[in-house]
Structure 1
Amino acid sequence: MELFPAVLALTLLSISPGLDTLLTVRNAARGGVTDGVVTSFGICSGLFVHALLSALGISVLLMQSAMLFGALKLVGAAYLIWLGWGSLRQALRGRGQQRAADSVQAVARFRVSHWRCVREGLLSNLLNPKTIIFYMAFLPQFIDPAGAVLPQALLLAGLHFVIAMSWQSLLAVLTCRMRAWVRLPVLRTLCHAVTGLVMVALGVRLALARI
């Protein structure tokens, strides 16, 4: 297995803007660097599940079953819309809390448990059927059929984990370096509103798309 082409492809995939980036930045802006990093950990942990399923051929069964794959697509779309609605609700609440938003107590109300961040990241990754398609198309390009498939698949997932977590953690740090801006009530409300609308739009697009 040639690692350099795989690392290059995984790096380009990781830095491409998408839902993973949006979710990491949103949670970092909401709760700090740690929230962004643990969200990324949840997202990237799902890569091992996709690699395992692909190696075992379960993803092939999903892709060949229109009913199962369609159900997975709708569940993923519903989850994205639910996340987006959560951000929109925070934006609506923020409109009535602009005076208190500068206090420590007001900022603390936006903090959530680390487990919730991990769960949001993991579910957003596992419920995305496009990730299944990517791994089904990606893994065969770099796996040596003469060797054991599962160890190679997990190695690629491990490389993807390191690259994606490094990139998303950097984004979390950069986001929090701008906390002085993010804490401004109007900008924070705008941030929640924009990310909420984008997530809802992604969910609707996923539900309607023919994958």
Structure 2
Amino acid sequence: MYDLTPVITIATIHFIALMSPGPDFALVVQNATRYGRNTGLAIAFGLSCGILLHSVLSITGVSLIVHQHPLLFALMQLIGGGYLLYLGLGALNAVWRLAKSDAPYTPSAAKNQLLSSRRQAFSRGFATNILNPKALVFFISLMSSLVPADMPVAVKTLTIAILFGLSLLWFSFLAWALSTERLQTKLQSATLYIDGLCGLVFTGVGVMIVWQAIQAFTSP
């Protein structure tokens, strides 16, 4: 029987990383509190599918090829950082406009951030994770250091399935917990601040990633 210690180690590290606040965490918090459970769950599924694709690309070596080509990786950083900046600046702009007006802050008020369907919510979740170059580097490091060269395909498949399952479980739990009726009532008055904080997270991470990409393009 194949030793499953690497699989358990990978799963443990991944789950700890999932609980660390980042763009994916902020996206669930922002939209589950604003739009409710169905949207939160759709975003959770999109985020998990992004992680699934990162896992597949890393364990097959595709992500390593991208990372080993500085200009290609810098281009991905530019696209991913730009997308996070779009989300962050859009959220901050909506918060600023609503804070300056007397109108109540509601989901429909933030028109540039409005998620009109579950498909759009899924797409936003998927794009947020798959375009995040930090996720690409994380999975490359995880897979290259902990996946033995002789690991059977069946065990690799099991590893990918576990990573996807843990991601879906965590993000779905987060979306469900934030959209319970009792918590929704308490969070309703804090929606403006939640959106502002999430906007700052997206913008901060986006600026950092774009700056790293610019440095890569301009370095000799």
TM-score class normalised by the smaller sequence: 0.7 to 0.9
Percent sequence identity is: 25
SS at match of 2:103: coil
Contact 2:82 2:206 (8 Å CA) reproduced: yes
Compare 28-37 and 87-96 and name the one that shifted more: 87-96
Give CA deviations for 1:47-105 in whole Å, capped at 9, x if unaligned.
2221222233222221111110000001000000001122123323433363585xxx9
Please say if 1:83 is aligned against 2:87.
yes
Q: Compared with structure 1, are the counterparts of its residues 100 and 157 closer, same or farther at alpha carbon in structure 2 (3 Å cutoff)? A: closer
Q: Compared with structure 1, are the counterparts of its residues 108 and 206 closer, same or farther at alpha carbon in structure 2 (3 Å cutoff)? A: closer
TM-score, normalised relative to structure 1: 0.85
Counting matched residue pairs gives: 205
Q: Compared with structure 1, are the counterparts of its residues 60 and 145 closer, same or farther at alpha carbon in structure 2 (3 Å cutoff)? A: same
Q: Which runs of 4+ in 1 moved over 6 A?
A: none
Please say if 1:23 is aligned against 2:27.
yes
SS at match of 2:33: helix
Partner of 1:9: 13
Contact 1:30 1:111 (8 Å CA) reproduced: no
Contact 1:33 1:172 (8 Å CA) reproduced: yes
For 2:193, the aligned partner's letter is: L
Contact 2:29 2:175 (8 Å CA) reproduced: yes
Contact 1:139 1:153 (8 Å CA) reproduced: no
Contact 1:51 1:154 (8 Å CA) reproduced: no
Compare 122-131 and 2-11 and name the one that shifted more: 2-11
For 1:66, the aligned partner's letter is: P
After superposition, the CA RMSD in angstroms is 2.5
In 1, Cα distance between the equivalents of 2:162 and 2:43? 18
Partner of 1:139: 143
Please say if 1:191 is aligned against 2:194.
yes
For 2:207, the aligned partner's letter is: V
Q: Compared with structure 1, are the counterparts of its residues 108 and 195 closer, same or farther at alpha carbon in structure 2 (3 Å cutoff)? A: closer
Gaps of 5+ in 2: none
Partner of 1:200: 203
In 1, Cα distance between the equivalents of 2:211 and 2:152? 38
For 2:196, the aligned partner's letter is: A
Give CA deviations for 1:26-65 in whole Å, capped at 9, x if unaligned.
1101210121111111011012221222233222221111
State the Cα distance separating 1:106 from its structure 2 match: 5.7
Contact 1:47 1:157 (8 Å CA) reproduced: no
In 2, Cα distance between the equivalents of 1:163 and 1:52? 15
Matches within 5 A, 1:149-188: 149=153, 151-177=154-180, 178-184=183-189, 187-188=190-191
Compare 42-51 and 92-101 and name the one that shifted more: 92-101
